[in-house]
Chains A and B, each alone.
Chain A
């Protein structure tokens, strides 16, 4: 730069051609001019110091400096901003001159001139701007004008002078330098920024990539961990399975589609006595299956392979198997197909059941023994002569044998719904319950009780029970057992006996004399009443004033009559009830009957009954005790009358009939129309102490029976077709007749 400047300076400073006069004046001006020039140069050289890096600013400053140093009309620049690559046009018009054309126009004209020049036309450096012609001077920026161009203009025709040229060049040079430096600086900055950015970017990228890698690594590590765990798990499961197989007490054998052994677990080794390695690959049939069964196995296996059907697959079978030492053992066997792709394979689970079979047999025989024993005891229970009933501790019946069932009238099923209380007669429940309580409490081992059950049909039945507790076992709690004997009959006879004794005692108090007295009192009361009444009347009549002798006589007459009557009755009754020995004699039953009916007629009539006779005319005589037979007839008449005493809806009729009976006998019947009796009581009637009368003693008919039987006869009673009954007796005729 200095050289250029120096060269320029030198050019400037070269003395001028002769024109001496003018030379002195010119020299002074020249010196001033040169001084001015140098100042301008210096200031131009100082420009860079104030220049910023902004190209448009720099150029603007330059243009302004040019305007200051050189007399211009305008200074115009066009440059390309290296950063934004926009074209910048800057115009600085001179302040002294007012240019009419606007900057844009200047720019256009100049631009146009430049264009033409570029094309190659040699144009004079002049432009037309409005109405003025201006001289222009383009100065390139940059070494080859790549930066831009400055165009200065002036209206002076001699523009630019040497000095102005110099100044312009220098200034432009400076500007170029500055611009270039600025550009360089900018570029540097840019590059630095770019570098930074790139570095940052790269750094970020690297960081991101790092992070990704890191994550990837973490993931991979996790995956590896997982894989490792799974492998471990698998190993464990495998070894577990292996352990199961190894430790299984059952033999597990596997074979392939050819029937060759592929697995032989330790249990199989032990059971069959072969070592695993010895049998692997050998045919199962040859190793384990007894010779006798091999054929069957082969056909079965072949069939399965061809048809897919098998009778033994997946089914538990029992068969015999062969051991290494030649023994055949009973086994339980299940063969299943192993589900897998590829050729068939099978697993067999085999269990040695020798022991089991043995214990089964033992069990069976023990069972048989138990069953037999049970049957024996059952038979005892069923066929026991006494009733046996079992009950739980609450009294609910568990079992009852046939005798008990019959005694109670229930089936065993019905009894099992009931408890002891349900079937026991109310009178005995309390005692029974308390005894059971004491028994269960351990007060005694067993107790005996006489009690009444109530049968299903409601009838009571007496039983003598032996009750004990049967101790429990592990399987069975303790329960009650009752041995029960039906003592109804026994009780009844006891009762009857007791009653008979009581009655007998009662009867013992009433001697036949007593009976006689009663009879007399009954029969004699009437005449006696009459006597007393008449006597009383007689006394009153005699006490009258005057005495009623006629009346008194009448009363006395009646008195005597009644007295006689009474006497007769007594005599007759005594005859009837006297304790004479029976004196059989031939007698007429009809006559005896009439006597009795005469005697008891009043009695019978008093009871409102009608007495009729139907006495056979041709009745043969009998041998018998008159008095006794009359007793019987009287008894039958009395009974008949009594049977009708409550009847008021029909006539009370007594019919006495005598007739021949079965060739050699004579029958007397007394028929009444009374209450009758049921067929069930027919037999009982003649038993001692049987009576339906409230005050009766029930002796009459039983005594009658004794009398008739003593006469070799029979006495019986039949209900009538209508109401009432007919009592009859029949005694043999006198053989002579």
Chain B
């Protein structure tokens, strides 16, 4: 199935160019996150897709095209850090920005050590997310 399905409102000159229509993916079991984040990402100029589990994402066929991954930490089944490991073992060097509602410094330190590009505690502002994405894309 093709991954160039662009959801959303159509091109806008005022849109940020960060995304350049590159594919960003949100993986989170939280429905409201899956609802709200892709819109914001499109405002950043990305093409955006959302999956409710790591398994779904891996099976989607979008992995190779994904230029940025917004990943929840705590999920049923494969957790965020586990997906990070999986992608690493597949040789996928997708910049990952972890998001989490739990204040656990240990996990933050761990995933950063494992090569995560960013880590944000919920709730985070849209500018925080943008900054993290910019950093991630620059370093990629």
Chain A residues with CB under 8 Å of chain B are 522, 525-534, 536-537, 539-541, 543-546, 548, 550-551, 554-555, 558, 562, 605-608
The answer to whether B36 and A541 touch across the interface, beta carbons within 8 angstroms, is no
The answer to whether A529 and B9 touch across the interface, beta carbons within 8 angstroms, is no
Q: What are the residues of chain A within 8 A of B12 when measuring CB–CB?
A: 544-546, 548
User: What are the 10 closest A-B residue pairs judged by CB atoms, nearest first?
Assistant: A536-B126, A530-B32, A529-B122, A533-B36, A540-B43, A529-B123, A525-B101, A537-B40, A532-B123, A608-B76
Which of B8, B15, B33, B75 interacts with A533 by CB under 8 Å?
A: B33
A528 vs B123: C-alpha distance in the bound complex, in angstroms? 6
The yes or no answer to B64 lying at the interface (CB within 8 A) is no
15 example contacts (A-B, Cβ-Cβ < 8 A) are as follows A529-B30, A529-B122, A529-B123, A530-B32, A532-B124, A533-B36, A534-B35, A534-B36, A534-B39, A545-B12, A546-B12, A548-B9, A551-B39, A558-B36, A606-B74
Give the one of B36, B43, B123 with max A CB within 10 A: B36
The answer to whether B76 and A606 touch across the interface, beta carbons within 8 angstroms, is yes
A577 CB, min distance to chain B CBs, angstroms: 20
Given A540-B40, A550-B9, is A526 in contact with B126 using a C-beta cutoff of 8 Å? no
The answer to whether A526 and B32 touch across the interface, beta carbons within 8 angstroms, is yes
The yes or no answer to B125 lying at the interface (CB within 8 A) is yes
Which of B29, B74, B124, B126 interacts with A537 by CB under 8 Å?
A: B126
The yes or no answer to B14 lying at the interface (CB within 8 A) is yes
**CB closest chain-B residue, reference A605:** B76
Q: What are the residues of chain B within 8 A of A522 when measuring CB–CB?
A: 101
A3 vs B29: C-alpha distance in the bound complex, in angstroms? 207
**CB closest chain-A residue, reference B40:** A537
Q: What are the residues of chain B within 8 A of A607 when measuring CB–CB?
A: 74, 76
B108 CB, min distance to chain A CBs, angstroms: 16
**CB closest chain-A residue, reference B82:** A648
List B residues 7-48 near A (Cβ within 8 Å). Answer: 8-9, 12-15, 29-30, 32-33, 35-37, 39-40, 43
Sample of 4 more A-B contacts, CB < 8 Å, known A522-B101, A606-B74: A529-B101, A530-B32, A532-B125, A534-B39
A531 vs B33: C-alpha distance in the bound complex, in angstroms? 10
The answer to whether A525 and B123 touch across the interface, beta carbons within 8 angstroms, is yes
A529 vs B36: C-alpha distance in the bound complex, in angstroms? 9
The answer to whether A530 and B9 touch across the interface, beta carbons within 8 angstroms, is no
A564 CB, min distance to chain B CBs, angstroms: 12
The answer to whether B35 and A530 touch across the interface, beta carbons within 8 angstroms, is yes
**CB closest chain-A residue, reference B9:** A548
A526 vs B36: C-alpha distance in the bound complex, in angstroms? 12
The answer to whether B37 and A533 touch across the interface, beta carbons within 8 angstroms, is yes
List B residues 81-138 near A (Cβ within 8 Å). Answer: 101, 122-127, 129
Which of A532, A546, A555, A605 interacts with B39 by CB under 8 Å?
A: A555
The answer to whether A537 and B43 touch across the interface, beta carbons within 8 angstroms, is yes
A546 vs B11: C-alpha distance in the bound complex, in angstroms? 10
**CB closest chain-A residue, reference B103:** A521
The yes or no answer to B2 lying at the interface (CB within 8 A) is no
**CB closest chain-B residue, reference A561:** B32
The answer to whether B32 and A562 touch across the interface, beta carbons within 8 angstroms, is yes
The answer to whether B15 and A529 touch across the interface, beta carbons within 8 angstroms, is no
Q: What are the residues of chain A within 8 A of B32 when measuring CB–CB?
A: 526-527, 529-530, 558, 562
A120 vs B74: C-alpha distance in the bound complex, in angstroms? 192
A509 vs B58: C-alpha distance in the bound complex, in angstroms? 46
Give the one of A536, A539, A606 with max B CB within 10 A: A536
Q: What are the residues of chain A within 8 A of B14 when measuring CB–CB?
A: 543-545
Q: What are the residues of chain A within 8 A of B35 when measuring CB–CB?
A: 530, 534, 558
Given A544-B12, A548-B9, A551-B9, is A537 in contact with B75 using a C-beta cutoff of 8 Å? no
B6 CB, min distance to chain A CBs, angstroms: 14
Q: What are the residues of chain A within 8 A of B74 when measuring CB–CB?
A: 606-607
Q: What are the residues of chain A within 8 A of B36 when measuring CB–CB?
A: 530, 533-534, 537, 555, 558
Give the one of A533, A541, A544, A548 with max B CB within 10 A: A533
Which of B101, B122, B126 interacts with A539 by CB under 8 Å?
A: B126
A537 vs B46: C-alpha distance in the bound complex, in angstroms? 13
A544 vs B126: C-alpha distance in the bound complex, in angstroms? 15
**CB closest chain-A residue, reference B44:** A540
B16 CB, min distance to chain A CBs, angstroms: 8
Q: What are the residues of chain B within 8 A of A533 when measuring CB–CB?
A: 33, 36-37, 40, 123, 126
Which of B37, B101, B129 interacts with A526 by CB under 8 Å?
A: B101
A608 vs B82: C-alpha distance in the bound complex, in angstroms? 13
The answer to whether A545 and B101 touch across the interface, beta carbons within 8 angstroms, is no
The answer to whether B125 and A536 touch across the interface, beta carbons within 8 angstroms, is yes
The answer to whether A536 and B9 touch across the interface, beta carbons within 8 angstroms, is no
A543 vs B127: C-alpha distance in the bound complex, in angstroms? 14
A532 vs B32: C-alpha distance in the bound complex, in angstroms? 11
B32 CB, min distance to chain A CBs, angstroms: 4
Q: What are the residues of chain B within 8 A of A543 when measuring CB–CB?
A: 14
B1 CB, min distance to chain A CBs, angstroms: 25
